């Protein structure tokens, strides 16, 4: 992942749809900037710092020339608001002038005379609407033309301008049959209504980003070397600093607990609903909340490199990424506006020349074609659904690298699991402990207990815990002293422990089927096996995956007997045991060729296999390495997140397909109806205004499905 210190973020107002975002993105990419991401939902423009290309000032000026407003802080926001009308103000002004015109239109249809029948009065009411709304859409249309990105505002501006200019010609001729001032005003007002509703709906798709951003604590209480407490902005706190937190405080930065204990709520970060108990030496995540306790902890990461910032970075990146489903929609959207303009011209020319319609009716049909068309619905179908889906996955405890990853996750047909640390907890226990009949078990137990006390190996603690419950000889007894003598213990990493003639370690050469053996010279005294505890809930997860018609497999370098025992315990379909790293790669490659395959591991071992799979899923426990490397990261070490995450991914893809189907179907049906004269421009504007809302509303449904 790119370091956040290299990322420049700008807040940009004036983006109404995905086409607006594409205009800005194309402009910045043409200027040589890299990693450009523009999100119209969050009003963010982000790019990687590159002094060789445009500097920050030139970027802002370029965006302003495209017709958008760069907001850098609250004061800039105030200036921007003062310099131009807000969306709500534009809507209220246009609606106030349009309603009398619309009412007069209905009275005219009913045959009732009105003072508003006068063309000059209609012009006086329509002109402010055209100036306010027309300038708004015209500026966006012009910026699209300058970047070669014809957006929907081009169609709106052309349609409203055609109706307004045609009405001016009728006013010059003093012919009321050519007055369509109410059509021009209604077109603009209805589209503004649609934009306003769309903006309100979009806000509901961005709540996950807002919720994560709200977790940032702006200030931290730092303990200085003098012993005094100083409150500093979090961006000024450096790794190694000591920060004080109390019950109810939000932990401002990542760190390590150095004293005391804390009960911490990490629900928004990891999806874990219950408070987590933290002890000395354990990691604290910035953005989590102290439920009980108080302490001073050591900061390990600056805010920009911390877990919360990285999570927000991943979610934003994922929400911008496009699945394969959107590629076709993007290609069609790129040529949609020119095609619609061509159809509109043909509608006018063919309708008029063939006598199908009068010149006036042919023009109205052509305007209706411009207005009924809605390329934005196709552009909105994917980003809105991905925005909601990725946010919901993040709240569940699953971070997705990109929108295309959501599609891959939904299509997975095989899931391969690593064993140690994935299906099992990684905490080893004694399976069986055998002492030869010729030896005294109490003396052997005591000897192994004492030897393991000199070991730094992770399993030593488990062995001592097991033996503590057994009947052992007293270490000061004459029998034990005669048996063991004076122990001078040496540990050889990866081999075992030696003390005089005694050896405790891995089986070398011919020996019993065991993990660890105790020998005196060449004589075997005892041996024992180690059992890795199956992770709680693993069996239920495998069962749920099978119900989703997903084949499961276990891929491990461990011995076959152990692998098969774990596979039987959880219900795994296939077992690939005693696999060397290169063999694991071969197995994953072969399985991926058969069907879309995901590899689930701990994010540290088997990195190559995780990368080779169609989808690598890491049980990273929010580790920085996992956040940087994995396509999918489970923020807590619970496999149940896999099942729920895949369900949400499938729903997200289904929602995208539904919205794209609606967008394509709407345009395929609506454009011919408008061309044939079955829809007047005002109805066309109304349908177009609400087509985007339908797509966004479908995405919002993802929150509760």
DSSP string, 70-125: EE-SHHHHHHHHHHS--HHHHHHHHHHHHHHHHHHHHHHHTT---GGGSHHHHHHH
Name the 3-class secondary structure at 271: coil
pLDDT at 623: 52
Please, are residues 673 and 372 in contact by the beta-carbon 8 Å criterion? yes
Q: In what order do the strands lie in the sheet with 276-278?
A: 276-278, 262-265, 289-292
Sheet of strand 37-39: strand arrangement: 37-39, 44-48, 7-13, 69-71
pTM above 0.75, yes or no: no
Number of H helices, E strands in the chain: 25, 26
pLDDT of residue 73: 56
pLDDT one-digit tens code per residue, 577-635: 888 777 888 898 899 999 999 999 875 556 667 778 888 888 765 455 555 556 788 87
List the catalytic residue out of 16, 153, 418, 606. Answer: 418
**What is the CATH number assigned to the segment(s) 387-423+535-649?**
3.40.50.1000
Q: How many alpha carbons fall within 13 Å on the CB side of residue 332?
A: 17
- Terminus-to-terminus CA distance in the chain, angstroms? 31
Predicted local confidence at residue 115, as pLDDT:
86
In the chain, CATH 3.40.50.1000 sits at 387-423+535-649
**DSSP per-residue string spanning 125-163:** HHHHHIIIIIHHHHHHHHHHHHTT---HHHHHHHHHHHH
Classify domain 4-83 by CATH number.
Answer: 3.30.70.100
Across the strands, what pairs with 257? 297
- pLDDT recorded at residue 234: 92
Instruction: Note whether 416 and 553 are within 8 A (CB).
Output: yes
Q: Classify residue 89 as left (phi > 0), alpha (psi -120 to 50) or beta.
A: alpha
- CATH 3.40.1110.10 assigned to domain 425-533? The reply is yes
For residue 704, what is the DSSP state? Answer: G
Delimit the CATH 2.70.150.10 region(s) of the chain.
Answer: 217-249+254-300
> 278 exposed, middle or buried (CB, 10 Å; 0-12, 13-18, 19+)?
buried
Both tokens assigned to 470: 């057994």
Backbone angles phi, psi at 126, to 5 degrees: -80, -30
The fold of 217-249+254-300 is 2.70.150
Q: Which residues pair with 290 in a beta bridge?
A: 264
What residues does CATH 3.30.70.100 cover in the chain? 4-83
Using 70 as the pLDDT threshold, list the residues of the chain that sit under it. Answer: 1-6, 16-19, 41, 50-53, 72-84, 147, 149, 198-199, 201-211, 267-268, 270-274, 315-331, 333-334, 379, 402, 456-458, 493-494, 509-511, 603-608, 620-630
Q: Kindly report, residue by residue over 632-680, the tens digit of the pLDDT.
A: 888 777 888 999 999 999 999 999 889 888 888 888 899 999 999 998 8
Per the annotation, the verdict on 35 as an active-site residue is no
Predicted confidence at residue 606, as pLDDT, reads 63
Task: Give the residue range(s) of CATH 3.40.1110.10 domains in the chain.
Answer: 425-533
């Amino acid at each position: 992942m790119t370091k956040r210190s290299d990322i420049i973020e700008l807040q940009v107002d004036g983006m109404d749809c995905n086409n607006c975002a594409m205009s800005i993105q194309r402009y910045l990419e043409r200027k040589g900037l890299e990693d450009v991401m523009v999100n119209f939902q969050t009003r963010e423009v982000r790019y990687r710092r590159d002094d060789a290309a445009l500097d920050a000032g030139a970027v802002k000026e370029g965006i302003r020339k495209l017709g958008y407003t760069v907001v850098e802080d609250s004061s800039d926001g105030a200036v921007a608001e003062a310099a131009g009308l807000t969306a709500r103000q534009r809507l209220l002004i246009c609606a106030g002038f349009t309603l009398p015109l619309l009412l007069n239109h209905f009275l005219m249809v009913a045959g009732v005379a009105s003072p508003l029948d006068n063309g000059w009065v209609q012009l006086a009411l329509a002109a402010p609407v055209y100036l306010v709304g027309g300038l708004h859409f015209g500026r966006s249309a012009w910026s699209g033309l300058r970047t070669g990105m014809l957006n929907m505002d081009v169609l709106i501006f052309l349609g409203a301008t055609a109706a307004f200019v045609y009405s001016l010609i009728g006013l010059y001729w003093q012919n009321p049959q050519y007055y369509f001032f109410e059509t021009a005003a209604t077109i603009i007002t209805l589209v503004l209504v649609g934009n306003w509703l769309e903006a309100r709906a979009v806000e509901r798709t961005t709540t996950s980003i807002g919720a994560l951003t709200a977790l940032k604590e702006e200030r931290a209480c730092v303990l200085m070397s003098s012993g005094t407490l100083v409150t500093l902005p979090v961006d000024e706190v450096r790794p190694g600093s000591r920060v004080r937190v109390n019950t109810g405080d939000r932990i401002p930065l990542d760190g390590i607990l150095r004293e005391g204990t804390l009960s911490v709520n990490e629900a928004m970060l990891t999806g874990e609903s219950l408070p987590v108990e933290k002890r000395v030496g354990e990691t604290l995540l910035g953005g989590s909340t102290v439920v009980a306790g108080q302490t001073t902890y050591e900061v390990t990461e600056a805010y920009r490199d911390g877990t919360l910032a990285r999570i927000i970075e991943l979610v934003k990146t994922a929400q911008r990424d496009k699945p394969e489903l959107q590629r076709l929609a993007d290609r069609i959207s790129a040529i949609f506006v020119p095609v619609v303009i061509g159809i509109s011209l043909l509608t006018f020319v063919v309708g008029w020349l063939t006598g199908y319609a009068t010149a006036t009716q042919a023009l109205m049909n052509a305007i209706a074609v411009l207005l009924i068309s809605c390329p934005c619905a196709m552009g909105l179908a994917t980003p809105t659904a991905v925005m909601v889906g990725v946010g919901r996955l993040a709240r569940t405890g699953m971070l997705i690298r990109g929108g295309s990853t959501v599609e891959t996750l939904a299509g997975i047909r095989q899931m391969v699991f690593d064993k140690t640390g994935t299906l099992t907890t990684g905490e080893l226990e004694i399976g069986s402990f055998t002492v030869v009949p010729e030896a005294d078990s109490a003396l052997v137990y005591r000897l192994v207990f004492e030897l393991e006390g000199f070991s730094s190996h992770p399993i030593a603690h488990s062995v001592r815990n097991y033996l503590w419950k057994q009947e052992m000889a007293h270490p000061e007894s004459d029998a034990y002293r005669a048996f063991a003598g004076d122990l001078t213990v040496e540990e050889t990493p990866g081999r075992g422990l030696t003390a005089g003639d005694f050896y405790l370690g891995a089986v070398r050469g011919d020996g019993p089927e065991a993990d660890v053996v105790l020998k005196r010279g060449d004589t075997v005294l005892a041996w024992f096996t180690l059992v890795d505890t199956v992770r709680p809930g693993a069996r239920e997860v495998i069962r749920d995956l099978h119900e989703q018609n997903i084949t499961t497999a276990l891929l491990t370098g461990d011995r076959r007997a152990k692998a098969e025992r774990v596979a039987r315990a959880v219900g795994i379909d296939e077992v690939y045991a005693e696999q060397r790293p290169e063999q694991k790669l071969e197995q994953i490659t072969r399985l991926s060729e058969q069907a879309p395959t995901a590899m689930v591991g701990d994010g540290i071992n088997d990195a190559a296999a995780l990368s080779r799979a169609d989808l690598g899923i890491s049980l990273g426990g929010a580790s920085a390495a996992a956040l940087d490397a994995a396509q999918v990261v489970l923020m807590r070490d619970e496999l149940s997140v896999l099942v729920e995450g895949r369900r949400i991914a499938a729903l997200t893809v289904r929602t995208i397909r539904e919205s794209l189907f609606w967008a394509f179907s709407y345009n395929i049906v609506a454009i011919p109806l408008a061309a044939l004269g079955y829809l007047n421009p005002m109805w066309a504007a109304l349908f177009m205004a609400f087509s985007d809302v339908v797509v966004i509303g479908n995405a919002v449904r993802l929150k509760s499905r």
